[in-house]
């Protein structure tokens, strides 16, 4: 069948069962957009207000559905506007395929209008990228991109398509998508046997999980594993939801803003079982003082993570779901009652707490947790509100918490919430935002309204860049350099002018009533919550300190 390159792009998207694409048109993707128009009964296109919004929406769609997120933009500034979203997805191992247009082949490298080497720009922040210079390779390149995005450690893949490739013609033949198999070739009997021996011999095992548990859909296997070996479980920010936040073995988040039980427990254990986690600096803090009495058993799909930040005593490279399934088949039920009770004692002695005077973000999030159910997805921006959400909202299932962990992208949450709502129309999608983050990409309110997406924005407004201000208070003698925002904007009126519902919470007594109203609104709604600019996130590990040297509330 003879087709144009643009039609081949769309046919390949249909092959991969893509039902939604996020993007913004332009001259060098105009032919692809024409083909999308002709195929709109198969693929829904969501027009965002800005290309960065499209990349974050594709990311949120992917995280919340488990499918590959797809976004498209034109050349030059259209492509570069995607870069932050691509880097966000790369750092958090999110499967995405990004399609960009470019100038015709004859104009490449000549500083042509709206030309940029987007393949060169994105080389460090993609699993792989392509510039298609032969139309006969176009279909196989797209198929390969989807496979790479999903295979092994997932991530974003970019395909740059010059305009004359989209305009040209060649033969096209339908192909079934290539089956993505779980990574198992390095899971040896010897590695499994050594792990079983380590776990069996341990008296104080501690499980530390990361985003790999969520990506590999291994939550059920993890639950069986933790209960089998009777070990407490802590999570990185990205791992939240991989293990139920309400389970008696769960100790809360670990790291800079982790719980005392998690941070103290990890330094008292004799075996750290790290599963789908990368020992980031926000978890480990001072390397020499991290888990000083413990052997490290590291289980991860990516061999590059082994011994990168923390040296392992033993490791298994492979898909988390498969590794845990095999370990569960070999392990015997264990009883670590003394150790579990010790950790339980830490949980009781050092609970998360805050001064409950006035309107507090922690209280708002606790009430939100009480009012929502399992059909809820929470997105966040980045900063204090993000940490309060991680601490006080109980995530019990994977794919219900969307946040930028590795890159820490302010402005991520609104686009991600839009993508999640598109991918999960029957779920309640809530974006918890700080005022600084919200202003970065608030233009995407127009997208939410245009598509009548019933997302809820909880705007935690402390009139400052709160996390930076917290550091300035604690470590810079209160020199608040450019962190006081002094808003003159009326956020409720702003939301209403966009066509949303605007609500206000000004005191503690209003919280439950207003949140309930927002949840039942069934249209885009913003809830403006004004808190004190000096409220802080505690516990906190100061830079360079041991993970169990925590600054506590008060």
Which string of b and e fits 279-302 if b means at least 16 CB within 10 Å?
bbebbbbeeeebbeebbbbbbbbb
String of DSSP letters for 181-212: ----TT--HHHHHHHHHHHHH-SSEEEEE-HH
Whether 124 and 224 map to the same domain: the answer is no
Last residue of a domain, one of 349, 382, 416: 349
Whether 329 and 204 map to the same domain: the answer is yes
CA atoms within 13 A on the CB side of 367: 20
Contact 73, 29 (CB under 8 A): yes
Distance of alpha carbon 265 from alpha carbon 233, whole angstroms: 10
Last residue of a domain, one of 293, 318, 349: 349
Determine if residue 217 is left, alpha or beta; phi over 0 gives left, psi from -120 to 50 gives alpha, anything else beta.
left
In 3D, which of 99, 46, 55, 53 has the Cα closest to residue 75? 99
- β-pairing verdict for 401-402 and 376-380: parallel
Residues sharing a CB contact under 8 Å with residue 509, sequence separation 6 or more, in sequence order: none
pLDDT of amino acid 117:
96
User: In degrees rounded to 5, what are phi and psi of residue 380?
Assistant: -135, 160
Contact 262, 233 (CB under 8 A): no
CATH number of the domain encompassing residue 224: 3.40.50.1220
Whether 158 and 202 map to the same domain: the answer is no
396 within some domain:
yes
Distance of alpha carbon 58 from alpha carbon 97, whole angstroms: 9
Residues sharing a CB contact under 8 Å with residue 7, sequence separation 6 or more, in sequence order: 35, 172
In 3D, which of 515, 534, 535, 533 has the Cα closest to residue 525? 515
Is the dihedral angle over the CA atoms 79, 81, 82, 87 positive or is it negative? Answer: positive
The DSSP code for 155 is: -
Last residue of a domain, one of 320, 349, 378: 349
Range 471-478 contact pairs with CB under 8 angstroms and sequence separation of 24 or more? 473/534, 473/536, 474/540, 474/542, 474/551, 475/542, 475/543
Domains of the chain: total: 3
**Domain of 268?**
189-349
552 within some domain:
no
Question: Which residues face 430 on adjacent strands?
Answer: 378, 456
pLDDT of amino acid 554:
60
Whether 167 and 299 map to the same domain: the answer is no
- Write the pLDDT tens digit of every residue in 24-49: 999 999 999 999 999 999 999 999 99
Whether 130 and 203 map to the same domain: the answer is no
Q: Which segments within 92-236 are labelled E, that is strand?
A: 96-102, 128-131, 156-162, 169-171, 205-209, 233-235
Looking at the annotation, which residues are catalytic? 51, 113-114, 163, 467
- Write the pLDDT tens digit of every residue in 77-107: 999 999 999 999 999 999 999 999 999 989 8
CA atoms within 13 A on the CB side of 126: 25
In 3D, which of 510, 260, 518, 237 has the Cα closest to residue 393? 237
CATH number of the domain encompassing residue 411: 3.40.50.970
* Parts of the chain with a pLDDT under 50: none
Contact 157, 96 (CB under 8 A): yes
Distance of alpha carbon 498 from alpha carbon 120, whole angstroms: 37
Whether 307 and 161 map to the same domain: the answer is no
Whether 517 and 422 map to the same domain: the answer is yes
């Amino acid at each position: 069948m003879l087709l144009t390159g643009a039609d081949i792009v769309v046919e390949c998207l249909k092959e991969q069962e893509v039902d939604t694409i996020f993007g913004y048109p332009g001259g060098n993707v105009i032919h692809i957009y024409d083909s999308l128009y002709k195929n709109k009964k198969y693929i829904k296109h969501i027009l965002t207000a800005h290309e960065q919004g499209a990349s974050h929406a594709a990311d949120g769609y992917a995280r919340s559905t488990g499918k590959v997120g797809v976004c498209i933009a034109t050349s030059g500034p259209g492509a570069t506007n995607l870069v932050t979203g691509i880097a966000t997805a790369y750092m958090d191992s999110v499967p995405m395929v990004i399609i960009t247009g470019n100038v015709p082949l004859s104009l490449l490298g000549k500083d042509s209008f709206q030309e940029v080497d987007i393949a060169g720009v994105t080389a460090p922040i993609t699993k792989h990228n392509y510039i298609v210079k032969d139309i006969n390779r176009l279909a196989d390149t797209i198929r390969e991109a989807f496979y790479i995005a999903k295979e092994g450690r997932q991530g974003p893949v970019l395909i740059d398509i010059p305009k004359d490739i989209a305009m040209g013609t060649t033969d096209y033949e339908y192909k079934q998508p290539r089956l993505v198999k779980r990574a198992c070739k390095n899971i040896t009997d010897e590695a499994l046997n050594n792990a079983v021996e380590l776990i069996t011999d341990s008296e104080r095992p501690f499980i530390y999980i990361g985003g790999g548990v969520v990506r590999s859909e291994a939550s059920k296997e993890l639950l069986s594993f933790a209960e089998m070996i009777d070990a407490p479980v802590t999570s990185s920010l990205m791992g939240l939801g991989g293990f139920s936040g309400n389970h008696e073995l769960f100790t809360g988040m670990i790291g800079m803003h982790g719980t005392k039980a998690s941070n103290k427990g990890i330094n008292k254990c004799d075996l750290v079982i790290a599963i789908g986690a990368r020992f980031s600096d926000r978890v480990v803090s001072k390397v020499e003082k991290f888990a000083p009495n413990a052997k490290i058993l590291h289980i991860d799909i990516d061999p590059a993570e082994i011994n990168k930040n923390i040296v392992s005593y033993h490791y298994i490279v492979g898909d988390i779901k498969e590794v845990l399934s095999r370990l569960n088949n070999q392990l015997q039920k264990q009883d670590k009652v003394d150790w579990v009770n010790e950790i339980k004692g830490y949980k009781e002695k050092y609970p998360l707490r805050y001064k409950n005077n006035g309107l507090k973000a922690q209280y708002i999030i606790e009430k939100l947790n009480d009012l929502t159910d399992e059909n809820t997805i929470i997105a966040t921006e980045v900063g204090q509100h993000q940490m309060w959400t991680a601490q006080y909202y109980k995530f019990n299932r994977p794919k219900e918490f969307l946040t930028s962990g590795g890159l820490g992208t302010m402005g991520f949450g609104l686009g991600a919430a839009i993508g999640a709502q598109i991918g999960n129309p029957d779920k309640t999608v809530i974006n918890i935002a700080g005022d600084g983050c919200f202003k970065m990409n608030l233009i995407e309110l127009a997208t939410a309204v245009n598509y009548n997406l019933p997302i809820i924005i909880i705007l935690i407004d402390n009139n400052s860049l709160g996390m930076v201000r917290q550091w300035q208070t604690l470590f810079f003698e209160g020199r608040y350099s450019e962190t006081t925002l002094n808003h003159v904007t009326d956020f409720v009126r702003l939301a209403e002018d966009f066509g949303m519902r605007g609500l206000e919470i000004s005191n503690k007594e209003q919280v439950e009533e207003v949140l309930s109203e927002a949840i039942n609104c069934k249209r885009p709604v913003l809830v403006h919550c004004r808190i004190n600019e000096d409220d802080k996130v505690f516990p906190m590990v100061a830079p360079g300190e041991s993970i169990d040297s925590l600054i506590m509330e008060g």
